[in-house]
Structure 1
Amino acid sequence: MKHVSEKQGRLVLMCAGATNLLGVPLFSQVFSNDTLITLSPEVFSRFGLLLIMFWGLAYLASAGIHRQASGLLAVFALVKLAYVVSWGLWLNDHFLQLPELLRTHPLTGAFYAIYGVIDLLFAVLFIRLSLQARQVSMTQVTS
């Protein structure tokens, strides 16, 4: 596995944070997009959207310490994987409605078409960073 630099790791966490902090207000139209909320109220209620933004803050706050936070990065990966599973279940129930949703509510349709892919990407990156941080900390203990 190719080593991820300190700068690259920080960038991953900053991008994840920015994705949550900018994506939620954009796609939820500042919490007013009732279509987005209605299609998955257990995940994207207004409160759920606010919590997604809080996770974004957590990603940003950990950007400078990620080398010492293997466990935290693993938790971040699990959170992202939970959203990937949620997306997969949503697609299973709504896939045939997606073209109509894209036509009538393009922003909401785009969100539901892509959010799981983005979360899967960040989950993989968080797992990679977590494993690397764990390896670094184990090397320091044995040195």
Structure 2
Amino acid sequence: MSDKKITNGFILAGLINIIAVLLLSKCFTNDILTDTDPTVMSNFGLLMIIIWGLAYLSVSKAFHSVKWLVLVFAIEKLIYGIIWTNWILNNELSLIYDKDFMAGIFYNIYGLNDLLFFFFFTYVFYKLTKR
């Protein structure tokens, strides 16, 4: 994967975190989303997801210099992916869609997104260790 594609991957990761949270949380007013998993997806938790997005954007062109931070990004995405998998296995997604379509979309996709970016960040870290 070229450096340009990696830069674009960081930008995409950041924009997805920021835009998805703002849209699907209805700018932090979607109580169904926050009430469904108040430990992870409270308004504070959602704000922290935006902060992670800003972090991805901030290193998009300097990822070469922050190899260990890229590993931190991979670990963070893995943790969210595991939490989501556990949530999906123990909850009925259709009940969330019945209450609020946007919250349903959020819970349907956030973990898949995180797992995909876990693989992306892991790949980038691996590539950086080979330089």
For structure 2, the 5+ residue unaligned runs are none
Q: Which amino acid aligns with 1:47?
A: F
What is the identity percentage for the equivalent residue pairs of Structure 1 and Structure 2?
36
Per the alignment, residue 128 of structure 1 pairs with 123
* Segments of 4+ moved more than 4 angstroms: none
Q: Which residue of 1 aligns with 2:49?
A: 52
The alignment yields a C-alpha RMSD, in angstroms, of: 1.0
CA contact (8 A) 1:17 1:59 kept: yes
Which structure's residues are more often helix, by fraction? 1
Deviation at 1:43, TM superposition (A): 0.7
Larger radius of gyration: 1
Does residue 42 of structure 1 match 2:39? yes
Deviations 1:91-135 (A, max 9, x none): 1220xx212322331111111111111110000000000110111
TM-score, normalising length from structure 1?
0.88
Residue 108 of structure 2 corresponds to 113
Structure 1 distance, partners of 2:73, 2:101, is: 29
1:4-36 deviation line (CA, Å, top 9, x unaligned) = 211011001000000011111111110011110
Q: TM-score, with normalisation over the residues of structure 2?
A: 0.96
**Structure 1 unaligned residues grouped into runs of 5+:** 137-143
Given that 1:13 and 1:63 are in contact with CA atoms closer than 8 Å, whether structure 2 keeps it comes out as: yes
SS of structure 2 residue aligned to 1:41: coil
Structure 1 equivalent of residue 95 of structure 2: 100
- Residues 98 and 109 in structure 1, CA contact (< 8 A), matched pair in contact too: yes
- The CA deviation string for residues 34-92 of structure 1, in whole angstroms up to 9 with x for no partner, is 11001111111111111110100000000011122211111000000110011011112
- Aligned positions, number: 131
